[in-house]
Amino acid sequence: MWYEESVFYQINLFGFCQVPERNDGVLSHRIQKVTDWIPHMTRLGINAVYFCPFFQSDAHGYDTQDYLKLDCRLGDNKDLEQMCEAFHKAGIRIVFDGVFNHVGRGFWAFEDVLKNREQSAYKDWFHINFGGSNGYNDGLWYEGWEGHYELVKLNLQNPQVKDYLFSCVDQWMDAYRIDGLRLDVAYMVDKQFLKELRSHCLSRNPEFFLLGEMIHGDYNQLVSDELLHSATNYECYKGLYSSFNSMNLFEIGHSLQRQFGSEPWCLYRGKHLLSFADNHDVTRVASILNEPKHIPLLYALLLAMPGIPCIYYGSEWGAKGEKSQGDSALRPAFDAPQWNELTDLISKCVEIHKKSPALCYGEFRIAMMTNRQLIIERRCDSQRILVAINADGEDYMAHFDAQAGRAKDLITGRDHDFGGGSLMPAYSAAYWEVF
């Protein structure tokens, strides 16, 4: 499937376009800015983009008012249509954020409940107790997302709610030709709803992609032939940066082995989870890594390990942002894209990944592992690649059974001879394709 051979780019449009923090009701065509970045994404090698939510909302996009209207702070639906058309013309597929677990207090059906209470035709769209109360003093209680009452939980078991949301997805598919959905807080979403959503979407487009946000737990609970195609791999996200910070590559090595190894007990063999270095909810990798020279190594590993790689806008040139400074620090507006040595390396690894059946589909094996060095193997019938990472500040001579004599480093283009040991320079990454 197309998504198994893709490298994603994630954009938080509200931050990217620097919209007002609260919806001011003023129409502004800010979204046109994102099309100016298409040449940058194309140069980077990106062939799929995931947009954080951008429909009409109270504030940040996850508090939806209207699923069918682009937030006025970004523009109108014609702007959105033109943006999607530009991305598709550039050969970049589009994934929207499906925020179906909850809506904002300004959502039209919830406003009707507040106005008409027990007489509202939409009272069963939510989980409401008219005998209770909440922090907004509405004279009723409702379930909010994890106790946040600005986010009103939808009753996804209600057939009317399901029909409404599916109709919204239909309109997105018709108007914007979207290629998939990322399901916000999918770990909380009713599984029967997810099952019916998959059936509905794939009946219209057999190649439609469904990705679930899952922060912890067993990804098999969401990723299956009946539910979602993929989930966010937070386990390896954490393992990537903490392995380099602790100079203990055993952590990420064992996580990858546990998930994708060849043994029968390995959890996600053959599945394509979304792998990432950072996103709109976590500290950027350039801020969390102790050693800046580890950043390119982390990306080289990210783009070679099993999974669907995703790059968060700005991080490809080393932009910083700390979660402790608030969400706005993670979701900035850049005047223009930048390009440096890190971007150059990432773009090379992106192109290698997309063109390599071994990196997209191949089996995973650890060929050698120490605290500071890691060599993994990706293998399929037509290709075999050894990915070598040296996180140490000193050169390292690796002696291991490469099961081959020679290879070519796909990053540098140089030949590599395994005889007598393999030199791994300080702070280096190599993609050795075996002859």
- Is residue 298 located within the same domain as residue 404? no
- Is residue 356 located within the same domain as residue 367? no
Q: What is the pLDDT of residue 245?
A: 98
429 lies in which domain range?
363-434
Q: Confidence class of residue 414 from pLDDT cuts 50, 70 and 90?
A: very high
Q: What is the CATH number of the domain that holds 394?
A: 2.60.40.1180
- Is residue 347 located within the same domain as residue 368? no
- Is residue 139 located within the same domain as residue 169? yes
* pLDDT mean over 298-322: 98
Q: What is the pLDDT of residue 110?
A: 98
Percentage of residues of the chain with pLDDT beyond 90 = 99
Q: Confidence class of residue 182 from pLDDT cuts 50, 70 and 90?
A: very high
Residue with tokens 């194309």: 42
Q: What is the pLDDT of residue 176?
A: 98
- Is residue 184 located within the same domain as residue 268? yes
Q: What is the CATH number of the domain that holds 260?
A: 3.20.20.80
- Is residue 78 located within the same domain as residue 138? yes
How many domains are there within the chain?
2
- Tens digits of per-residue pLDDT, 195-233? 999 999 999 999 999 999 999 999 999 999 999 999 999
Q: What is the pLDDT of residue 395?
A: 98
10 Å CB burial of residue 309 (0-12, 13-18, 19+) is buried
- Is residue 285 located within the same domain as residue 388? no
- Is residue 300 located within the same domain as residue 378? no
* pLDDT mean over 82-101: 98
Q: What is the pLDDT of residue 205?
A: 98
Q: What is the pLDDT of residue 48?
A: 98
Q: Confidence class of residue 8 from pLDDT cuts 50, 70 and 90?
A: very high
- Tens digits of per-residue pLDDT, 20-74? 999 999 999 999 999 999 999 999 999 999 999 999 999 999 999 999 999 999 9
Q: Confidence class of residue 243 from pLDDT cuts 50, 70 and 90?
A: very high
Q: What is the pLDDT of residue 49?
A: 98
Domain boundary among 361, 391, 415: 361
- Is residue 380 located within the same domain as residue 284? no
Domain boundary among 309, 341, 361: 361
Q: What mean pLDDT, rounded, does the chain reach?
A: 97
- Is residue 263 located within the same domain as residue 280? yes
Q: What is the pLDDT of residue 396?
A: 98
- Is residue 367 located within the same domain as residue 280? no
* pLDDT mean over 391-403: 97
- Tens digits of per-residue pLDDT, 247-301? 999 999 999 999 999 999 999 999 999 999 999 999 999 999 999 999 999 999 9
Domain boundary among 331, 361, 391: 361
- Tens digits of per-residue pLDDT, 336-371? 999 999 999 999 999 999 999 999 999 999 999 999
- Is residue 164 located within the same domain as residue 53? yes
Q: What is the pLDDT of residue 236?
A: 98
C-alpha angle with apex 128: 125 to 130, nearest 5 degrees?
A: 130
Percentage of residues of the chain with pLDDT beyond 70 = 100
Q: Confidence class of residue 379 from pLDDT cuts 50, 70 and 90?
A: very high
Q: Confidence class of residue 154 from pLDDT cuts 50, 70 and 90?
A: very high
Of the candidates 397, 378, 394, 398, the one whose C-alpha atom is nearest the C-alpha of residue 386 is 378
What does the alpha-carbon distance between residue 421 and residue 272 come to, in Å, rounded to a whole number? 33
